[in-house]
Amino acid sequence: MSIIADDNDFLNTKPQEKKNPVVKTDANDNDRAFENSIRPKDFNSYIGQSNLLKHLKITIEASKKREKPLDHILFYGPPGLGKTTLAGVIGNEMGVPVKITSAPALERPRDIIGILMSLEENQILFIDEIHRLNKVAEEILYPAMEDFFLDMTTGKAQTVKTLRISLPKFTLIGATTKAGELSGPLRDRFGIVHRLEFYSPDELSKVIKRTAELLDIEIDEKSAYAIAKRSRGTPRIANRLIKRVSDYAIVKNDGKITEDIANKSLDILEIDEFGLDNTDRNLLRLIIEKYDGGPVGIETISAAIGEDSRTLEDVCEPYLLQCGLLQRTPRGRKVTPETYRHLGYKILNSNQQSLF
């Protein structure tokens, strides 16, 4: 089997496409301030994830009727799909405050002890990136999650005493992009475990229209859908793209967003009709052109395209897997016939005839 690129040869004659930060799903400080300002606060404004929401609504109602705190909840899934947002929504729906922290901020035993002891009855503790909790913090958390107490030791050698401290009943909500890296015992202590799914273009259209309204940007159905289709199934990206499209419309069309304006501005951002950016395309082209479609290890890909392997695994891969443009095998990553088609390659059989 041989491959031919319809455009010029990427590895030999075509410079590697530059990185495009616009569609990355991780957030910097400015993005976070913007995100916090537009986060849905309740179930009514939280779009999509309908199965998950159905389940949560029942759980919340039952917990209110029993007058007991919610079971501990673990949310996992790719960045930008609404895990942190959902923790806030649950807090509002329960009518309880949410204390937010992340595992890297709980490095020393006193960090986690301090935060547990500061909780109020029924409060929600949200721990982001929970797969990064260290062993000591985890062990402190186990009895706190199971029976709401802390075992603390004081004194030294023969005078050592164990002190059992009761904690208020609380709900822990953990979020992670890497459920596989969570230790088994910690995972088992969550009564509710949910994976967040990528959003459909229809759902993302709603996200875009909602954000546009909050930002006082006028947008019609078709333009919202055009942006939604290229938002990688991710509300965080949809929210960023609407701002970029609005900027383009201000400069080129007196601020009026049309479908054509939306598509043109997304073309300029080099986001294709699948929502792929340059990093995604570089990754896929590398596998096709240098490794005959794969399989190839993620570290090799990372070194070749100069992108951190964690970013590739957390941000690029989940969406490429979801689109069917990439496969994970025990021997590494492989592309699919759809990848060749999407990037404009032809696969030839032994008679040099195109297979599609």
Ligand X SMILES: Nc1ncnc2c1ncn2[C@@H]1O[C@H](COP(=O)(O)OP(=O)(O)OP(=O)(O)O)[C@@H](O)[C@H]1O
84 binds Mg ion (CB under 5 A): yes
- Give the pair of three-digit tokens for residue 65: 């009727």
- CA 100, 105, 110 angle in degrees (round to 5)? 100
- Rounded Cα distance, 83 and 173, in Å: 10
> Least distance to Mg ion from the beta carbon of 26, Å?
10
Amino acid at 123: Q
> Least distance to ligand X from the beta carbon of 272, Å?
22
Contacts for 130 with CB less than 8 Å, ≥ 6 apart: 74, 103, 174, 175, 176, 182, 186
List 23, 173, 207, 217, residue binding ligand X (CB under 6 A): 207
**Residue 239: contacted member of Mg ion, ligand X, none (CB under 5 to 8 Å, by partner type):** ligand X
Determine the length of the chain: 356
38 binds ligand X (CB under 6 A): yes
List 171, 177, 223, 282, residue binding ligand X (CB under 6 A): 177
- Give the pair of three-digit tokens for residue 234: 């991710």
Amino acid at 8: N
> Which residues ranging from 164 to 183 are in contact with Mg ion (CB under 5 A)?
none
Q: Which of 348, 217, 227 is nearest to 293 (CA)?
A: 348
Contacts for 58 with CB less than 8 Å, ≥ 6 apart: none
Stretch that binds Mg ion, among 6-14, 77-85, 155-163, 188-196 (CB under 5 A): 77-85
Q: Which is nearer to ligand X, 231 or 339 (CB)?
A: 231
- Rounded Cα distance, 90 and 100, in Å: 13
User: Is 84 annotated in the active site?
Assistant: yes
x/- binding map, residues 288-327, to ligand X, per CB under 6 A? ----------------------------------------
Determine how many CB atoms are found less than 10 A away from the CB of residue 58: 10
x/- binding map, residues 228-247, to ligand X, per CB under 6 A? -------xx--x--------
> Least distance to ligand X from the beta carbon of 80, Å?
5
46 binds ligand X (CB under 6 A): yes
39 binds ligand X (CB under 6 A): yes
Which of 236, 240, 285, 333 is flagged as catalytic?
236
User: Is 177 annotated in the active site?
Assistant: yes
Cα Rg for the chain, rounded, in angstroms?
Answer: 24
Element (H, E) at 327: strand 326-329
Query: Which of the residues are catalytic?
Result: 83-84, 128, 177, 236
Binding site for ligand X (CB under 6 A): 27, 35, 38-40, 46-49, 79-85, 128, 175, 177, 207, 235-236, 239
